[in-house]
Structure 1
Amino acid sequence: MRPLLTDRVVLVTAGTQGLGLAVAEAAAREGAAGVVIVGRSESKLPDALARIEALGAVAHGVVADVGVPGEAERVVAETIARFGRVDSLVNAAGATSRGSLLDTTRALLDEHLSVNLVAPFMTMQAAVTNMRDRGAPGTIVNILSMSMHGGQPYLAPYVAAKAGLAGLTKNAAFAHRFDRIRINGLNIGWTATPGESVTQQRFHGADDDWLARAEAAQPMGKLGRPDEIADAVVFLLSDRSGVVTGSIIDWDQNVPGAHE
């Protein structure tokens, strides 16, 4: 069977680790010609690039903080400068620091909005402009969160930004459906990543056994895994997902609104 992303140029924000790197590797396995990964840490780039290239794709890394004004647009411009185009975009970068409605400062709210909403807005704007200028189809997947349904009290700024991104995903998908640019979102649930481990320890005082205890309490006996989510992302980026656009898909083992 033909690989899902044969000859595509794929741009992944937060692609040096965790879910973003899993998506980049999955894109390479599925035949992408070029994979661009974005990360704030230059030290993480060499290993990530080597892993992607070992899977057969030409890899390019961009050091950037997409939450800084102008950086989101720059990573798209660098992708086009390196490969001549962008065919598929995955917005995987996210700020996950905690704050409730009452204790969130304006600075914290601005951080979440900048990384979780404004940056995807600007990368989509730049990528869609390139796709339209070329008269070419394209695909975009925005990584959202199950928390957009309401979330925990300590995730107020995160929820606000992710819910905004869900609305933007639908708006952009509708606006550009006749350009044959498909834009979808994936609401991911609790996922086992190195970044999540840091978050649990930093904000919730978790010990080294937190993952085992968390997984034991889940319906499927485990948390989600980056490679599993990456397969879903690649499917949505590919022609195999058909005409689907403007969909916000809950990728989780818990069902919002359901109760005993």
Structure 2
Amino acid sequence: MTEQISLAGKSIVVSGGTQGVGAAVVRAACAAGASVTFTGRRREVGEKLRDELIAGGAQAEFVVADVADPAQAGASVEAAVTRFGHVDGLCNAAGLTTRGTLLDTSPELFDEHIAINLRGPFFTMQAAVKQMIGQGTGGSIVNIISISEHAGQPYLAPYVSAKAGLAGLTRNAAYAHRFDRIRINGVNIGWTETEGETQIQKRFHDADDDWAAQAAERLPMGRLNQPDDTARFVVFLLSDQCGVVTGSVIDWDQYVVGAHD
């Protein structure tokens, strides 16, 4: 019989947990029995999700936070400790996907990508790892990265720069804290159908309302990745059922990197 994935008794922090993959991870972690503290910049959206989860019997806390600010990133971990007494897991899901090439990216756009896609996870991890070491109980961290960290499209230059850095950080931190029994892994997600991606497609690519259906027709599996698909895997990586795996950056896509016909 397949063992059900459980996060019972664990306190999990999710950055960027108000929409897309982050919100899916929040719901999946709550469903697996975790107490979840999640962050986002939109108070109304976050409080609505929190109230929905609590009404369903979950233990959830929402913290307004912009991970681009290291102090706010760290405060999300402090909030989880204040509310639930400890932190056992972290998922860095906050992200920015605005476009820019090597030639047209401004210093401001580049810095924004670094702030949200790399610096934010860095300092959230810093706070979480310090807390886990102090507890002496170990823990698990999952970074939502991107299949594009391998190279990506030309219009993703600042995004790829930051996400490739996050992949390296994931491995570095995993190695540094393996004897603290803190497992740190990353997921290189591919093209995913989210509210944020819909906004990006319309803003930068003049996409129609049915862009996702059109895109799915061209993909090997006939559909885009869905947030719930990734969320289930993230919950597994956060759980004890994942075993000893650490330092892995796993490609989560329907294309095979490096393969050619």
TM-score bracket for the superposition, by shorter chain length: over 0.9
Contact residue 5 and residue 235 of structure 2 kept, 8 A: no
1:101-138 C-alpha deviation (Å, 9 max, x unpaired): 01111100100000000010001110000110111110
Partner in structure 1 of residue 54 of structure 2:
53
Tell me how far apart the structure 2 counterparts of residues 251 and 63 of structure 1 sit (CA, whole Å): 29
Letter in 2 for 1:186: V
Partner in structure 2 of residue 183 of structure 1:
184
SS in 2 for 1:207: coil
SS in 1 for 2:145: strand
Correspondence for 2:27 among 19, 25, 28: 25
SS in 1 for 2:51: helix
Partner in structure 1 of residue 17 of structure 2:
15
Contact residue 150 and residue 164 of structure 2 kept, 8 A: yes
SS in 2 for 1:37: strand
Contact residue 88 and residue 140 of structure 2 kept, 8 A: yes
1:80-99 equivalences under 5 Å are 80-99=81-100
1:200 aligns with 2:215: no
1:89-238 equivalences under 5 Å are 89-238=90-239
Which runs of at least 4 in structure 1 moved beyond 3 Å after TM superposition?
A: none
Contact residue 66 and residue 72 of structure 1 kept, 8 A: yes
Contact residue 17 and residue 48 of structure 1 kept, 8 A: no
Deviation for aligned residue 1:50: 2.6
1:8-38 C-alpha deviation (Å, 9 max, x unpaired): 1010011111111110110011111x11110
Letter in 2 for 1:19: V
1:32-91 C-alpha deviation (Å, 9 max, x unpaired): 1x1111010011023211332244321100011111242111111111121121110000
1:195-221 C-alpha deviation (Å, 9 max, x unpaired): 110000011111112111100000000
Letter in 2 for 1:147: S
Partner in structure 1 of residue 74 of structure 2:
73
Q: Taking structure 2 as the reference length, what is the TM-score of the superposition?
A: 0.97
Among the aligned pairs, what percent are the same residue? 58
Tell me how far apart the structure 2 counterparts of residues 56 and 176 of structure 1 sit (CA, whole Å): 34
Letter in 2 for 1:29: A
Tell me how far apart the structure 2 counterparts of residues 56 and 2 of structure 1 sit (CA, whole Å): 19
Contact residue 148 and residue 163 of structure 1 kept, 8 A: yes
Q: Taking structure 1 as the reference length, what is the TM-score of the superposition?
A: 0.97
The alignment's C-alpha RMSD in Å is 1.1
Contact residue 36 and residue 59 of structure 2 kept, 8 A: yes
Letter in 2 for 1:77: E
Letter in 2 for 1:12: V
